[in-house]
Amino acid sequence: MARSPFVSVERHDAPRNVQHVDADAIAEEHVAGLQEALNAHLGSATINDVQNNPLQPDFQYRGFTASPLLGTPQGIAVYQNGVRINEPFGDVLQWDIVPTFAVAGATLVPGADPLYGLNALGGSLVLQMKDGFRSPGLRVTGLAGSFARYLTTVEYGHAWGPWAVYGGASLFGEQGYRDHSPSSARTLYLDARHREGGREIGVSGTLASSELYGNGPAPTELLQEDRSAVYTWPDITRNQLAMLSIDAKQRVTDATSLLGTLYFRHNQRSTLNGDEAEFSTCQAEDGTSLLCDADGEVLSDESGYPIATDEPYDAVNNTTGTMSDGLGATLQLDLRAPLASRPNKLVGGVSYDGSRSAFLQRSEVGRLTLDRGVEGAGIHLSGDEYRTDLDVFNHALGVFVSDTLRVAPPVSIQVSARFNLLDTQLEDQQGDALDGHHTFVRLNPALGVTYQVVEALTFFASYGESNRAPSAAELACADPDEPCRVPNAFISDPPLDQVVSRSVELGLRARSGGRARPWLEGSLAVFGTRNQDDILFVAGSRVGTGYFRNAGATQRIGLEAAVAAERGPVRFYASYTLLRATFESELELPGTAHPDVDEGATLHVDKGSRIPGLPTHSVKAGVSVRPIDPLELSLSMLGQSSQPFRGDEANLLEGVSGFVVLNARASYRLFEQLRVFVRAQNLLDTQYSTFGVLADPSEVLPELSNPRFLGPAAPFGIWVGAVVTAP
């Protein structure tokens, strides 16, 4: 069972193919971020290494994404102990500030389940955090190895009487497997809790700080010469988080409980992105050479003075700063009482999430170095294209109800609904071009049925709806004539329509053995989700530019199957997913970087064309064996088929190649409290990519002509470490 802000997710009773990863499985992976552990264990999950940084991936599930990058359509709602942690500015998910070591369990609820609020289009990820009652004792973990990576975590939990405390900290750093890509992250998590009688109250806090270098995709011709090469640099993201939450539960009667969550969340995010720029020089009346844009318009600095230069600048450092303060609360009533003499559970409540985000973007002119780095000149440009100062106020209200009735001993019906209201106000701090006030309202229903044939076999079916309102970043960047350097510059545009998602799912789950610890488990599900007025980020001719637009209908249909077994010293698991993600409306998109589209022409996307970035087939398997009691050996495999390049929505080109990757682990318990381990990834040193995009490389490297850019995945790596535990 996973604690959530709305319902208790009982996997065996859910009318969906709910998946769960516990703390032991996460810890066994010894990975830098939670998303890697989820990708290893969850069927239908894949990762796009857009930034080639282990803490900045696109985590994808059934064709929907939780990404740290503005410009990526977001479709997964994520909660940490009942607090929604998708950022209010752009709905992005910052994986680097999630305290992975403190996650007691991660439950993935698939489909458009309205109970989880806005943005739960493809699924909802519920993170239950550790506390002193359930995670007592001391645990210290350390590892080091390839890419100069190190990771150290320290945890301690203790309970005495009705009181319990838990605290943990992690320290991560590496130089990366590509040029100019060092990263570091620090995370602290604390929890204090009191439990007595029918009452429990807990206070938890998260502090995190990171500095991540992610250099993104590079031209294929450049990667053929050097897999570690970068196109342009630097590309730096810095995050600082402080979050405090209070959760409480009061049992009113034997059948009734009240639950509440209150939180405050402060996040500061800054970025620095170096890129090429098209500048020119022009002559003033007195003959002075001035800096001009590509159209010959004179550019000015932030003081309003023209910029004198004899040699045109050819690059720019785009910097942003985003400060977001969030405050929210949830109040929920749980009632377990018979209805018409049948077992019944009713859940109802209300939630509020409010936030203020201050966004500042500036552009500093500079010049490209010989290795395509950008040296800034200390001169910042003025004008709406180069400077943005925007405040955003969000107020989200949700009212939800869910009732689960066992209409007959083997049959249960779940009926749910949620009313969502989001009010977004944009205030331009340097004029009124970006001012706007947008309100989005929707009532989303859901219906689910489970049929337990026997105790070990259950059939399920469900239908649900959810919606995603356009974020401030999308509302302010939707003009095809003025593409933005997302997430850097915004312009005034008409509002976008909200996305409405409708999903269906049908499947079964089976097990052999006891419910608490079966020796064999399996599941099979077919699913389909259709988005109305989906929001698409349309890439411009240069990497990092584009605009948002409604793209009509999109659809994701598929099948997923999984099996897991444990017999004596052997454990085994395998999963397979078939996914068909398509555009269901004809589109006309810019084709400036597409090799099969003439200059100035558009790219025609037919109905049924595949959505870029998503493989049709993905498979995972792993086996662990204990030949002797202290020794455990594990081998795992990840594989997926090809995917279309972003920018080739018409599917005219051969896509990013598929791959199969092998990973391995070995651990040996020297003493009761000491275990040593070795972890290796990409055993065969396969050269593969999980992401591709089309862009023009000749703007920086004139000798290159192939518009295909790839994000090279990590090569062979090996790490050694130790785990120390004490009661």
User: Cβ(206)–Cβ(97) under 8 Å?
Assistant: yes
Strands (E), 252-381: 256-276, 279-283, 289-293, 315-336, 344-368, 374-380
Cα distances (Å, whole numbers) of residue 37 to 71, 100, 273, 538: 25, 9, 29, 31
pLDDT of residue 580: 97
Give DSSP secondary structure letters for 669-715. Answer: EEETTEEEEEEEE-TT----EEEEEE--GGGT-TT----EEEEEPP-
Phi-psi region of 616 (alpha: psi -120 to 50; beta: other; left: phi over 0): alpha
Residue 543's pLDDT is 46
* Cβ atoms 367, 375 nearer than 8 A: yes
pLDDT attached to residue 360: 92
Which residues are 574's β-sheet partners?
A: 563, 621
- Ordered by where they begin, the domains of the chain are 19-277+313-726 (2.40.170.20)
What's the token pair of residue 474? Answer: 């999308």
Instruction: Decide: helix, strand or coil at residue 193.
Output: strand
Output the six-digit token pair for 197: 């009688």
Cα 314 off chain centre by: 33
Other CB atoms closer than 10 Å to residue 173's CB: what's the count?
18
The Cα–Cα gap between 682 and 502 comes to: 38
- Measured between alpha carbons, how far is 127 from 325 in angstroms, rounded to an integer? 21
CB 533 within 8 A of CB 550: yes
pLDDT value for 480 = 61
What would the two tokens of residue 1 be? Answer: 């069972």
Q: Quick count: other Cβ atoms within 10 Å of Cβ 659? A: 18
The residues with which 142 forms a beta bridge, in sequence order, are 152, 722
Q: What is the pLDDT of residues 665-715, one digit of tens each?
A: 999 999 999 999 999 999 999 999 999 999 889 889 999 999 999 999 999
Sign of the CA dihedral running 116, 119, 120, 123: negative
Two tokens, residue 198: 């029918």
Widest CA span of the chain, in angstroms? Answer: 93
Residue 615: CB atoms within 10 Å: 26
pLDDT reported for residue 327: 97
Q: What is the pLDDT of residue 541?
A: 47
Q: How far is CA 561 from the centre of its chain?
A: 23
**Any idea what DSSP says for residue 713?**
P
Paired sense of beta strands 19-22 and 199-213, if any = unpaired
Residues of the chain with pLDDT under 70: 1-12, 478-495, 516, 539-546
In DSSP terms, which residues pair with 617 in a beta bridge? 578
